[in-house]
Amino acid sequence: MISESVEMSQSKDLEELQRLIDEQSEMYPLGPTIALTYLSVLKDCEVHCFNEGSEVKKLGGLHVIGTSLHESRRIDNQLRGRAGRQGDPGSTRFMVSLQDEMFQKFNFDTEWAVKLISKITDDEDTPIEGDVILKQLLALQINAEKYFFGIRKSLVEFDEVLEVCV
């Protein structure tokens, strides 16, 4: 009934819905009332979202903070995209720890990273940034993607064998 009422709200104008409510016809006993209520709530949500969006833009936009890297670059890029849609203000920052699961799972050379970090700074809490580190992280994600692609490819091959056997 609700989905029919939502469809009705999209196909009939407000005056027609109000007329159907006033008639209280047997054919549409509750549908027009639900449709009108849906339109009212939708209007309120649009106003609220517009006001909230304006407030976020005034404060500098959406700032996404990633606490670890995903095994897929696509997921990280989707997060980055949330921060600056169609010219909206915003930023993205990823905070990565050498103790992250992905580093352990894909045999990242943490010793190399620790030596590099110790040469750069004496303080453990100082953020380390740079193109060399970004390239290493990108390579790690690419290796993870290749690994999971291989697993998916093997599953497809096993499924094909099973289909032939059955």
* Contact call for residues 98 and 114 (beta carbons, < 8 A): yes
Does the predicted TM-score (pTM) go above 0.75?
no
Decide if 54 is inside a domain: yes
Counting the structural domains of the chain, the total is: 1
Q: Count the residues in the chain.
A: 166
Decide if 133 is inside a domain: no
Which pLDDT score, from 0 to 100, does residue 122 have? 66
Residue 17 sits in which domain range?
Answer: 1-59
* Contact call for residues 73 and 145 (beta carbons, < 8 A): yes
Decide if 91 is inside a domain: no
Decide if 35 is inside a domain: yes
Query: How far is the C-alpha of 79 from the C-alpha of 82, rounded, in Å?
Result: 5
Decide if 106 is inside a domain: no
* Contact call for residues 88 and 57 (beta carbons, < 8 A): yes
Decide if 149 is inside a domain: no
Q: Name the nearest CA neighbour of 130 among 114, 118, 116, 140.
A: 116
Decide if 26 is inside a domain: yes
Per residue of the chain (166 residues), what is the pLDDT tens digit?
778 887 888 888 888 888 877 777 666 577 788 888 888 999 999 999 999 988 988 888 888 888 877 888 888 888 888 777 767 888 888 887 777 777 777 766 667 777 766 776 666 666 666 677 778 778 888 888 888 889 999 999 888 888 888 7
Decide if 38 is inside a domain: yes
